[in-house]
Structure 1
Amino acid sequence: MKPRGLFLFICIVFMQTWISHGFALEKISHMDLNQKIAELTIDGFSLGSHLKNKLNFKNGIEEVLTGSFGSDGKSIRQPVWWWLREGGKTEDEPDGLAVTIGGSGRSNNHFHNPLQADWEEAGLNDYVGPFRYYGQSSAIWAQNSEQDVGGQWSWEDTRGFYYKALTAGSRQEREAAFADTFRGLGQICHLIQDASIPAHVRNSIHIGFN
């Protein structure tokens, strides 16, 4: 390959890599971001310290909780930070945008066009060839307690999990509710992270990217 051709090839690969990141964050990126949120002190707030001082979690974000996991709802024991991290992944599941023929999944509801005054019309409404993809504004989806795909993990639902975690009669129920609380927070964080991506705030579908 001639030097000029090699240079052009490298430029194309480099541009494709950055274009993909302009379209969307990969699931692993959402997971890593949520874990960092759990680990870092941000603007004077430390989740670990809050859990120790306010909720008597002696191990902070390393406190192990037993909760439900997967489509079969099997029990699994994992630390707080893991549940937050997992929420970063599961907010994209099932992923309708991974389906090329008009798929419908949680990710269809991860768009919000701030130039659209009516939030009911601010969500995804785009075409790939003859196939239409649409969804709720992410600002509405985050507060929708009747989410119809992939389970109900809205802000209202997450607050409900937290209330149950504080008031349930048995330790088992409280642990499971805390696990759901942190997973729910992880899923809400996913929506906030998506709002930093140009395609997600300009109603621009990106098939093939998470």
Structure 2
Amino acid sequence: MGILISVSTNPNFKWGVVARYFTHETILRGLMLTIFLTVASMALGTLLGLVLAIMRGSSIKPLAATAGVYITLFRGTPVLVQLIFWFNISALYPNLTIGIPFTDIGTAIDTNALMGPITAALVGLTLNEAAYMAEIIRGGFSSVGKGQIEAADSLGMSGSIKMRKVIIPQAMPSIIPATGNQVIGMFKETSLVSVLGVAELLQSAQLIYARTYETIPLLLVASLW
């Protein structure tokens, strides 16, 4: 109780400034970008994670090994390092060619122009999230009883139908709670893209307090959102 009284009455917190900037145009624009990055990264990461989970559980060893290396790599390195890496990928590949393999049909793309701050943020967050979602989905698949899979096999279901009709529906109760936690984590994790100059919520708050010197109130605004 004493802490609450101190926080609410301490004039240095400047709650009036917090209230004034809570719905400021710059803050709301940053919030919209944060929400976009969260939704897009989670959607793409979940789709890629599903593919990786299927590969990881495959009986084809090269596929399972490839998925295992991917998951280990992206879960084992800091997200911030990954974001900075993708932002500077043009140092490794100044140009990329998109075309048809083994033919002369293709188009060269300037990597530096392609991999802008928002694109790098989306790529970095998506690829990292896919590794975590792959393990969550794989854990959900493992929760489906063997009897259910054997019953599907006895009915002559193909692998794709068995996945859609039997495994995924029964795995969802295990997958959804963990995915909810990942959404919350992703919403907060987007603050890391501020180092790339992306004007998401934290960067928007920083732009304001760099001008007004009201650092604590603006950080409170970002934290409250």
**Shorter-chain TM-score: what band?**
0.3 to 0.5
Q: TM-score if structure 1 supplies the norm length?
A: 0.33
Q: Tell me which structure has the larger Cα radius of gyration.
A: 2
Which structure has the highest helix share of the two?
A: 2
Which structure has the highest strand share of the two?
A: 1
Q: Which has the higher contact order (CA 8 A, sep 6+)?
A: 2
Q: TM-score if structure 2 supplies the norm length?
A: 0.32
